[in-house]
Structure 1
């Protein structure tokens, strides 16, 4: 994995997005989730031994792209951080009938707004869902959206964390039981990748091989798939049919730029 040129670390960082950036299924302090953005903030803060680093996480689970643009970008205008990570559109792509070309147009409109109020914008591509139950059917849409994201980043001078190429997340251990959100180790791998995309030197390799373990038997796989469908897939489908979101009535966990 190529190393970008090293750059001076930002002294303030705001994370925008949905459950991916909120950090679901990575237990943190005070009953809240941590996640890759919190972990990236920790890596950035370590670049400033004087303690002059501030961090906000505006992400809320379940948010669609238009909601993120309407609710979170205005907050960026007020706090004006040095760095913004803008990860959005994934929930839109998951919806039946969504058009990745159209979603990308709205995403770029959000990027243009952010570029007026922050020094650096980092975007992340979607994961490669090859071999993933149900989500594997959307692989073509995700790849199309990723192509747009890379082009948007090129046109607007954004950094890119290329999650599609991150081989480490093809291991089941990178994902929590719901198979939609990362495990704590998966979040750590993404944080390392994002840090590298920003030009930071990190001691660990985000794509380092996982420890060897016995392969699951076909019976184990069938049993796990059935349990996953009962516990996670069916409730998720039910929420979609009822027009509900896991983030209804929820607010950002860290809405202000505060010392980490």
Structure 2
């Protein structure tokens, strides 16, 4: 039986931040990179990516989990719940219960299930409560991984992500560097050799003066936070109208950019 990798989730898995117009939805991302490396190890490898940006946990469960199960994966990745944490009011215990139910359903396929913690992104001192939620969510994810014998990529513990070049200016999405590092981490977890080159990003930038800090915060709130809140208020989240990148399994060994052109 050929290996079949199915990726489920939100912008983290769709690949937002790893911009490349040669790929569907204009992004590549860690999952596409992992699929390509798996295909190098086994050209018969198949790959589907159902993830879509801005999706909350219930939306991922409703529109992706059953579809993933129907594809009979041998490996399925699951990352969801990060957009729920950004809501003004949530019940973290309820979010974790729904998260675990989704993982349990994916585990019934007999596939290896791959989970991730969320990095401890320092968004802004004004949003410190989100860090507390994120840490609580990560503790729950680690427990779910143990209970369902899932593979875990502990993104939270990866020190290279302290470098700002690993992130997009919105401070939420990984940059191309971040996606490459994560792809390499996933392949290490899967014990698969890879040819991904990880660049030295140099030293951390020097500390900012109070004036520089205020300028950066103002630019971030006006450039990213306010537009995101506006889209949420209009119920038109980022990526509104997009469809999944690879809804049906492809063979990455046959050329992903080539197959993307055929799909268009």
Fold agreement, TM-score > 0.5: yes
Paired position in structure 1 for 2:202: 211
Paired position in structure 2 for 1:198: 190
Query: C-alpha displacement at 1:237, in angstroms?
Result: 1.6
Q: Deviations over 1:215-248 (max 9, x none)?
A: 2542444333222221111101222333332233
Paired position in structure 1 for 2:28: 34
Among 236, 257, 260, the alignment partner of 2:249 is 257
Shift of the 111–212 alpha-carbon distance from structure 1 to 2, 3 Å rule, reads same
Counterpart-to-counterpart distance in 2, 1:98 and 1:205: 40
Shift of the 231–80 alpha-carbon distance from structure 1 to 2, 3 Å rule, reads same
Paired position in structure 2 for 1:144: 136
Counterpart-to-counterpart distance in 2, 1:124 and 1:46: 24
Counterpart-to-counterpart distance in 2, 1:135 and 1:80: 40
Structure 1 counterpart SS, 2:113: strand
The answer to whether the 8 A contact 1:64-1:88 is kept is yes
The answer to whether the 8 A contact 1:129-1:136 is kept is no
The answer to whether the 8 A contact 1:11-1:53 is kept is yes
When normalised by structure 1's length, the TM-score is 0.87
Moved >6 Å (runs of 4+): 203-206
Aligned length: 248
1:234-249 paired onto structure 2 within 5 Å: 234-249=226-241
Find out whether 1:18 has 2:13 as its counterpart.
no
Find out whether 1:127 has 2:113 as its counterpart.
no
Counterpart-to-counterpart distance in 1, 2:241 and 2:174: 23
Could you tell which deviates more after superposition, 149-158 or 93-102?
Answer: 93-102
User: What are structure 2's unaligned runs of at least 5 residues?
Assistant: 253-264
Shift of the 217–12 alpha-carbon distance from structure 1 to 2, 3 Å rule, reads same
Query: C-alpha displacement at 1:163, in angstroms?
Result: 0.8
When normalised by structure 2's length, the TM-score is 0.86
Query: C-alpha displacement at 1:133, in angstroms?
Result: 5.2
Shift of the 185–253 alpha-carbon distance from structure 1 to 2, 3 Å rule, reads same
Counterpart-to-counterpart distance in 2, 1:90 and 1:154: 20
Q: Deviations over 1:121-144 (max 9, x none)?
A: 101011112464555431111111
Structure 1 counterpart SS, 2:69: helix
